[in-house]
Structure 1
Amino acid sequence: MKNNYGRFKIIVLISLILLLFAVTLQASAGNTLYVKGLKAPQKEIKGAVTDQQGSPIAGVAVYIRGKSSGTVTNLDGQYSIRAVPGDTLVFSYLGFQPVEIVLEQQDQLNIQMEEDISSLGEVEINAGYYNTTRRESTGNISRVTAEEIELQPVVSPLQALQGRMAGVEITSGGVSPGAASTIRIRGTNSLRTEGNYPLYIIDGVPISSIPIESSSLLSQPGIDPLNNLDVNNIESIEVLKDADATAIYGSRGANGVVLITTRKGADMGTSLETRLYHGVATVPARLDLLNTEQYLDIRRRAFENDGVEPTENNAYDLVLWEQDRYTDWQEFLFGGTAETTNANVTFSGGSETTSFRLGGSYYNQGTVFPGDYNYRKVTGNINLNHQSRNNKFNLNLSANYGTDLNNLVGNVSFNANTIFLPPNAPAIFNEDGGLNWEDWGAAGLDNPLQGFFNNSTTQTNNLISNIGLSYEFLPGLQFKTSLGYTFYNSAELRNQPRRSYNPADATTNRSSHLSANRSSWIVEPQFIYKESIDKLHIQALIGATFQENSNLRESFQGSGYASEALIGNIGAAEDIINASRGNTEYRYAAVFSRLGFDWDKKYFINLTGRRDGSSRFGPNNRFANFGAVGAAWIFSDENFMQSTFPFLSFGKFRGSYGTTGNDQIGDYGYLDAYEATRGPGGLYPTGLANPDYSWEINKKLEGGIELGFFKDRFRFSLSRYQNRSSNQLVGYPLPYTTGFTSVQANLPATVENSGWEITFNSLNIDHDNFRWETSFNISLPKNELISYPDIEQSSYANTYRVGHPLNISLLYEYTGLDPETGFYAIRDVNEDGRYDYQDWVVIHDRNREFYGGLSNNLSYKNISLQFFLEFVKQEGSLTSFSAGTISNSMVEVLSSVDGQGPLQQISQSLASRTASRNALNTIFPIRDASYVRLKSLSLAYNLPRNLTETIGMRNAKVFLHGQNLITASSYDGLDPENPYSVAIGNLRTITGGLEINF
């Protein structure tokens, strides 16, 4: 850690010296623009540039044709330039038709620019080590901009991407703020869960995408490492998918790359931007469960059917508990309202050579669960860009810092066991607010919310910083280097007071402590060369990567605190137990290159390659090579196409093939591994050495077509991909007779992900004051284990099946209701009188059949409306089909009262419970869980410009936003996004806010 800090200080010192040198050069050059050959007296020309709706356009290039003088418009669209009568003034801006005006004697010149639809494809796209455009890209890159991200009240930017990108599947980690979402880019490639995370890169700096460990309600999904980012500060998010786009990242690009670019400062002038919104969030759905009268009627019928007399032991709900009491446990557990507040302030500005942006934000979200819990986040960011007057030297500095505090209930699980409590069950709390042990204890039960007063507090701090320096030595030859440093710290304390547990258990006050530190530095020097020879254009890049990561994890428990107020104070604990500490380091080095050719901007070839070295592999296989080739042909530029199909404004074929790798495994896996015994002085083996295992390899093949019609008013793209991941790297279990539990090894398995991706964008109406745009995407993925020699003899024999997806369930065969007992029946395949893995003959695919989204943006004068629909085709499972036991059920079980429904006979017997459990492991509970969700809706009104200028504002906007408003689905579970569990994936959020710019 100290060495890393020292390196960081050296990097900062060098950067500050270079910055000081650049500023000195600028100061010595002066602030006057000199124009060669200008003899006539100049005068100042002022004006403003607006679009067809009268809104100012910032960043418009304003220059004199044939001369070197020029400027850009500020945030108000205003400009000032010195010229003489007879000069031709040119106004140019991406996405708009250029304007040329020959100056006469005027001093004021206001310009209105018309949108050029055909140039929208020229917007720059971040491809990682280089930039490209939609038109010239040979790879498959999806992009979401700030306008789509900032409108959503989310903690992590990943949550804002759901359904918006073809081939990118994101599922929520739950309703607790801070939970990590699951992201899969074109499917599951690895047999290991941790082997499927994509690479995250923020402003050129890679960070670990693996969720941070937690012992709170977030223990299952983990903590999202992107939580500390300010969503309002994100300019765009690009996702690289195919080999052409990802191979330059070598061993880190197998699962795709997520590039996050933060915002930069204004080119001219200064601006103060503020945004504030406040709202509420609730759980949008409920299970349709039995009320008290229905439940008790079912229970009594169960005893009648079984011929058994209810007693205090087998029917305490009928004998001991009140018969007219009703508690809606869903409302009790997650019926609260979580308030959400966000405030963001940004100050930006710049001159012709320097721009800056300073920002800060505050975010607060409550909880829907019982108790006073909340999540708070504070972020700060800075971005500085400077270039010399001759445009040869450039400096870019970005730093993003965030800290959050997540206060959650400890380790109480608000799960199905509590949701399905009998509706006449006793109260959870006494009148004094303590847990009710007496009424539950009378039935021989613990309070179902045992541990409720446990409190988990997790604080994280995250710094992501980067300095980019570049200098053009010769025309077309540029040296560039990127220096990054990241630090992530997580400290979690879980208090477990005695009053959370049954007094009869004599539990003491306890605490659990968990901390994690992640730090890394990276240096990436590069040479970039560009050359044009007639119609041939060449772009070359060669660079190197040097990176080091350090990870530290510590945990222990304290017990025996004299009072609840002392919990967490280690000095007051009687005992410190289960202490553990782990420290790992990861070193990575690589050389990479890119060579891009195009002829006449119609024929493109892109070659990328990388040689990687990783400390996670043994000395026998520490280095590996990866590469790809991509090609594209813009056939719409051919003369015969333009004359034959005049309505076709753009047409491109593209394709790519290449290899990427995966080194997402634990550190030091090639060495023998031992852990300390609980007793003093002992070690026990956990991992066997294997210096020969090598990289997972992902071979990616893709072809696609992109079309534009009627000056690109309608744009369509179709992609077909096939990715094969082989040489699967897992911890292979070993027999205990070896003395080791596992060995890191390559398995002879190949996983294939293939599919189709379709996107469509249209400008439906663009007339006077009304505009309507639509975007659509759909993904049809397929996952398959296509090869695994001798899988029957492996430890995965009962997990996977060759020819089927990785995400499957191996199930019993359901044969209907037993005519003798009326209970669910399954087939005993080998007729051995028992049900085990040998009877798993049904293979159920748990993957989505297809998914996508539909977005519409409408604007009329100062009013804008945006709404986004997410849709998924899939199946899911319901979990409550038994009727008659001491557990509530779906109202569907009422159909079995008369014995005519598809459900088994009402019974409270052991045989019925066993039959019900077995049936849950068949296709019987499988249901259609497809859904269409109104994911987001935004309504905004821009205050009239004459009003805002009167009160000293540049512009002001009020807005109303809704998230997860309506879900249309035949699925009867809580949330079809999580169709195989009783879990809540999303909250319905409604917020209102105000945005003001000065």
Structure 2
Amino acid sequence: MVFKDTDITYKIMDKHIVLTKRASSPQPKEKINHNAQQHRVRGKVIDTQGVPVPFVNVLIKNSKTGVYTNEDGVFELACTPTDVLVVTNVSYETKEVSVRGRTEIAITLKEAVTDLGEVVLNAGYYTTTEKVRTGNISKVTSKEVELQPLVSPLQALQGRVAGMEVTPGGDLPGTAPTIRIRGQNSLRDEGNYPLYIIDGMPINATPVESNNSNLTLKGIDPLSTLNLSNIESIEVLKDADATAIYGSRGANGVILITTKKGFEGKTAFQARIYSGVSTVPNRLDLLNTKQYLQIRNRAFENDGVEPTTRNAYDLLLWDQNRETDWQDVFWGGNAWVTNANLSVSGGNANTQFQMNGGYQEQGTVYPGDSKYQKATVGLSLDHSSKDQKFSLGLRLNYGVDINFLMGVSGNLISGLSPNAPPIFNEDGSLHWEEWTEASLNNPIQGYFNTSKTKSNNLISNINFNYRIINDLTFKTSIGYTSFQSTEIVKIPKRSYNPATWQTRDHRSTHLEGKRDSWIIEPQLVYSPNIGSVHFDVLVGTTFQQSQNNQMQVTGSGYVSESIIGNLAAAETLTQGINQTTDYRYHAVFGRLGLNWNQKYYLNLTGRRDGSSRFGPGKRWANFGAIGAAWIFSEEKWVRKHLEFLSFGKLRGSYGTTGNDQIGDYGYLNAYEATVAPGGLFPTSLANPDYSWEVNKKLETGIQLGFLKDMVNIGVSWYRNRSSDQLVGYPLPGLTGFNTVQANLPATVQNTGWEVEFSSFNLRRKHFSWQTTFNVSLPSNKLVSYPGLEDSSYANTYRVGHPLNINLLYQYEGVDPESGLYTFTDINDDGRYDYQDRVLIKDQTRQLFGGINNTLTYKNFSLQFLLQFVKQEGKLSLFDAGRYGAKRAAVVSALEEESPFQNISQSSSSFQAYLNAQNTDLAYTDASFIRLKTLSLSYSLPPSTLRTIGINGCKIFVNGQNLFTLTGYEGLDPEFALSGMSFGNLRTITAGLQLNF
């Protein structure tokens, strides 16, 4: 938020104010008697209800001397009798108070209704405000992020940003979440990553590969090494007007992460620590041993089959009275979490700094003592010359995380009966005898395998600004990032059945990866006023280069478990991946912004992109957008006839962005060296003719404010169309290649409505209540795909339907004769295949959003977020009769009239069950409302802390995923379609924050 007086610009940065002297000609100043005797003035700032107001700036007029009120509204300042105090706070009207020789002063401030023009938004290459923005930009502040017990900062955005879906990659920290901004634009998963920019530095959004079986599916989050406590704000850019200036990089939206900065004032220290525990919040209702054995015995009776030790080991070999809830064994543990953060900041009028360090440790709910650790450091340094013509900013963020987590697959319980043997012996070794007797493996074989994944991530940026003349500024941003990961998985023999691994030896796999990238972006900014029109002109260019290195090696034949991982001690080394790729990107871009009479706004952006991922003649493409806004509440006729309307704006935008999120060198033939020296073999087929994937975006929206902006509503409609789809097109095996890079003649469309609401519900003497709400109604479909029926995607997509569909059989019910599920054989060929899957099931969310409430009472503060989703999901574990865990609902199969097929363990029964899983019989409502976050804090009165030198003390308790209201009978409705069991742990933490 920014507002100005005669010669000082006040910039609100969270809980402090940065003061910057304006560059305009100096104004006449009051004479100051510097020889006057100074004395200490103690004051208290309150509002009209008598409530103390913290974090108020008290500045001696026409000077750079000032302080801030503490959390009790009290300040102390050395003044002369003739000084005038300027008292400012973003939520109150500015007030000037003469000292007049007093030593104690009481100051009362009047509340100021929040001005949309004060909410500053980071649009990347420029800044704007909530009031005048022409594009669609959502902002989440540090208060909503910093205390959440998460590793990924983007998971903190769940339910907070309209149009943005954030799905955790799993329950293990460090796993990459899936981010979708306004749906899926590309047929390729890797073609849907948004652009991440941290303090001006673009970050590769692709998850880091892993050999860890629990991290392989989603990969490692490239943002996992960021410190959430050091994030100032996160802006999400969605429409063409907001993203087109990033060209091809902004096709799937842009996420801007800004870290905290220093401020002018005495050096301040802050220490924060919290600790807590995470657990799995839900359990499946499964058959107990008595019910399970009854079902199994009935299956053999119905089939007329004699139980043997081979087909009924659970009935003949295992203890019939043993009962184990395998959910408690596999994921019933407590995952402890600890987080500590220390920061120091301060500076003077020309130089401000901020340094911070953090440490986080988190365990796992699975058996064992594996854990995740992260350490981070950050530095922010800003300097400006006395005449304000030159400024310099430095941002450094460095993080190291070590992931020892292996975990256990949550799907293991599906293959275990409640009377199955134990998995451990009393000495802690794996139990094999009873499992081997039944010709089975211990379900957690591999338990003693260990994994260590270490990531080092440096993100740095330097920006220079020089004001050449009034209204003309030269800017340069220089960034460098280096992400290195090393992973070793040790596989000792004792992790596996000695009866089958006697001839095998100890092994290890090693994976190393490195991503280096640099960027230089010089720019010229010209901001003149011509009559009643204000212009913002920006021209710039981008030079960027990235290099990715990856190497994989497997070592085997270690003579001892103690030396596993020492490749020099391995008997055999096997080279896996060993590749280096380079990516070069160059662009020129420009922006023209017009502001006419504070009512009419026009924003034109353009960019010409060049990418090394395309062949000669295809590397360059042009992208651009136009955005416009009309603040009609500034019109005289609106003010006269619609007095209840305090703010009204219509806006719209249209533009194009590109997409080059494909592999490098796809337009060339690629070769790898043969195992024997001196040879090469081809690994990919050249296609020099493919070019840019293009995304065309259209949007319109309206923003309304009522009761002096106490109530605000925003509604947006969008349509995005992505064409010339870039895919790895599958090839017949006889060609010798799996795929070739190509443009498909397919067009994907995303449309939707987004509604955002905020209100100040109550403002009383000791109590306030604020609410924010957002809801998104997305729609996705494949608009066109000529030749789809003859392509390799014929059994995956349907024109006119979403990309995320499932093709299903038509369910006919239970056959009264066979007692099995039956289905419609569409072509009467006597078998079931994709020709018979004629039902199209849309698996996308129908709507999603969140409701956030913030309540304060005296020194107490309560904040909670409710996340809601309307969707369908799938349920399994209904196969009655075969070995393995079953839902308790299967008991009803014993009844004469049952919705389930006959209890059987035959192959025909199992095949009918598998087919039923591909009908709408398996689908159910998986909508949910979840208490996503809850935070309760209490700030101790400063008067009780002043004697021990502490400026502030806050005690807080935070909860994550505390409860979920849903009719879904699975573990976690959020993963009702992904195949995962769960990914959201219930976490409760408590902590302490001290300010010095």
* Fold shared, TM-score > 0.5 on shorter chain: yes
Q: CA deviation at 1:72?
A: 4.9
Distance 1:657 1:680 in 2: 56
**Counterpart in the other structure of 1:440:** 435
Structure 1 residues 242 and 995, CA gap change in structure 2 (3 angstroms): same
The 8 Å contact of residues 292 and 324 in structure 1, kept in 2 or not, is answered as yes
Residue type at the aligned position of 1:619: P
Residue 203, structure 1, aligned to residue 199, structure 2: yes
Q: 115, 121, 141: which is aligned to 1:119? A: 115
Matched residue, 2:986: 988
- Equivalent of 1:41 in 15, 29, 33: 33
* C-alpha displacement of 1:820: 1.2
1:641-699 per-residue CA deviation (whole Å, 9 max, x = no partner) reads 11211111111111000011111111111111233445555433332212221111110
Are 1:171 and 2:204 matched, yes or no? Answer: no
Which residue is equivalent to 2:10? none
Residues 595-994 of structure 1 aligned to structure 2 (within 5 Å): 595-678=592-675, 681-980=678-977, 981-994=979-992
- Give the structure 2 partner of residue 532 of structure 1: 529
Tell me if the contact between 2:357 and 2:377 (Cα under 8 Å) persists in the aligned partners: yes
Q: Given the alignment of the two structures, is residue 313 of structure 1 paired with residue 305 of structure 2, yes or no?
A: no
| 1:737 Cα deviation after fit | 3.6
Counterpart residue identity of residue 199, structure 2: D
Matched, 1:427 2:427: no
Unaligned runs of 5+ in 2: 1-20
SS of alignment partner, residue 114 of structure 2: helix
State the Cα distance separating 1:36 from its structure 2 match. 6.5
Q: Which moved more, 1:311-320 or 1:112-121?
A: 112-121
Identity of aligned residues (%): 56
Residue in 2 that maps onto 1:481: 476
1:98 to 87, 91, 94: 94
Aligned residue for 1:244, secondary structure, equals helix
Alignment of 1:274-673 (within 5 A): 274-409=271-406, 413-505=408-500, 506=502, 507-673=504-670
1:657–1:700 CA contact under 8 A, matched in 2: yes
CA distance 1:535–1:109, change in 2 (3 Å)? farther
- SS of residue paired to 1:582: strand
8 Å CA contact retained: 1:94, 1:119 = no
Q: Indicate how the Cα distance of structure 1 residues 120 and 274 shifts in structure 2: closer, same or farther if over 3 A, else same.
A: farther
Go from structure 1 to structure 2 and tell me whether the alpha carbon gap of 1:549 and 1:972 turns closer, same or farther (over 3 Å shift): same
Secondary structure at the counterpart of residue 97 of structure 1: strand
Pair 1:568–1:821, CA change in 2 (3 A): same
Conserved? CA contact 1:376–1:405, under 8 Å: yes
1:876-923 deviation digits (Å, cap 9, x = unpaired): 001111101011211111111113121111111111111111111111
**Distance (Å, rounded) in 2 between the aligned partners of 1:665 and 1:709:** 47
Q: Give distance in 1, aligned partners of 2:616 and 2:43.
A: 64
Task: Tell me whether 628-637 or 974-983 shows the greater mean CA deviation.
Answer: 974-983
| 1:439 alignment partner, SS class | helix
Query: Residue 706 of structure 1: CA displacement?
Result: 0.5
The corresponding residue for 1:18 is none
Q: Distance in 1 between matches of 2:952 and 2:223?
A: 31
How far 1:105 sits from its partner (Å)? 4.9
Matched to 2:476, the amino acid is: T
1:219 is aligned to: 216
CA contact (8 A) 2:121 2:128 kept: yes
Indicate if the aligned counterparts of 1:35 and 1:69 stay in contact, CA closer than 8 A.
no
Q: Structure 1 counterpart of 2:971, which letter?
A: L
For the Cα contact (< 8 Å) 1:974–1:982, is it kept in 2?
Answer: no
Q: Is the 8 A contact 2:414 2:884 kept in 1?
A: no
Query: What is the distance in 2 between the residues matched to 1:761 and 1:874?
Result: 25
Which amino acid is the alignment partner of residue 297 of structure 1? Q
Query: 1:531 Cα shift?
Result: 1.3
Match of 1:892, SS state, is helix
Q: Is the 8 A contact 1:51 1:115 kept in 2?
A: no
CA contact (8 A) 1:464 1:485 kept: yes
- Distance in 2, matches of 1:121 and 1:438, equals 72
1:192 aligns to 2:184 (yes or no):
no
SS at match of 1:774: strand
Shift of 1:102: 5.5
Match for 1:199: what amino acid?
L
**Matched residue, 2:3:** none
Alpha carbons of structure 1 residues 916 and 677: separation in structure 2 relative to 1, 3 Å: farther
* Residue 150 of structure 2 is aligned to residue 150 of structure 1: no
Please state how far the C-alpha of 1:732 moved relative to its aligned partner. Answer: 1.0
Count, aligned residues? 961
Is contact 1:329–1:419 with CA below 8 Å preserved after alignment? no
2:414–2:877 CA contact under 8 A, matched in 1: no
**What residue number does 2:4 align with?**
none
- Tell whether the 8 Å contact from 2:116 to 2:131 is kept in structure 1 after alignment: no
Q: Secondary structure at the match of 1:212?
A: coil
**Structure 1 residue 37, shift from structure 2 partner:** 6.3
Aligned match of 1:15: none
| Letter of the structure 1 residue corresponding to residue 622 of structure 2 | N
Cα distance change, pair 962–40 in 1 and its aligned pair in 2 (3 A): closer
Deviations 1:94-136 (A, max 9, x none): 3431223456455765544333223254221101001110001
Q: Structure 1: which 5+ runs fail to align?
A: 1-28
Match of 1:589, as an amino acid? H
Residues 329, 420 of structure 1: 8 Å contact kept: no
**TM-score scaled to structure 2, two decimals?**
0.94
- CA-based RMSD of the aligned residues comes to 2.0
Determine if contact 2:64/2:349 at 8 Å carries over to the other structure: no
Q: Distance in 1 between matches of 2:26 and 2:748?
A: 63
CA gap of 1:252–1:79, structure 2 versus 1, over 3 A, is: farther
Match of 1:24 in 2: none
Q: Aligned partners of 1:503, 1:136: CA distance in 2, in Å?
A: 70
Structure-2 change in CA distance of 1:38 and 1:939 (3 Å): closer
- Conserved 8 A contact 2:533-2:597: yes
Q: CA deviation at 1:928?
A: 0.3
Residue by residue over 1:433-487, the C-alpha shift from the partner in whole angstroms, topping out at 9 and shown as x without a partner, is 2111211110111111111111111000000011111011101111111111101
- Cα distance in 1 between the residues matched to 2:677 and 2:823: 51
Secondary structure at the aligned position of 1:252 is classed as: helix
Give the conservation status (yes or no) of the 8 Å contact 2:51–2:765: no
Q: How much does 1:746 deviate?
A: 0.7
Q: CA deviation at 1:392?
A: 1.2
- Counterpart residue identity of residue 699, structure 2: E
**1:71, 1:352 within 8 Å by CA — same for their partners in 2?**
no
Between stretches 702-711 and 415-424, larger displacement belongs to: 415-424
Matches within 5 A, 1:82-97: 85=82, 90-97=86-93
CA apart distance, 1:73: 3.6
CA deviations on 1:327-372 (whole Å, 9 max, x unpaired) are: 1111100000000000000011111111111100110001100011
Distance 1:79 1:138, change over 3 A: farther
Normalised to the residue count of structure 1, the TM-score between the two structures is 0.94
Of the structure 1 ranges 480-489 and 306-315, higher mean CA displacement relative to structure 2 is found in: 306-315
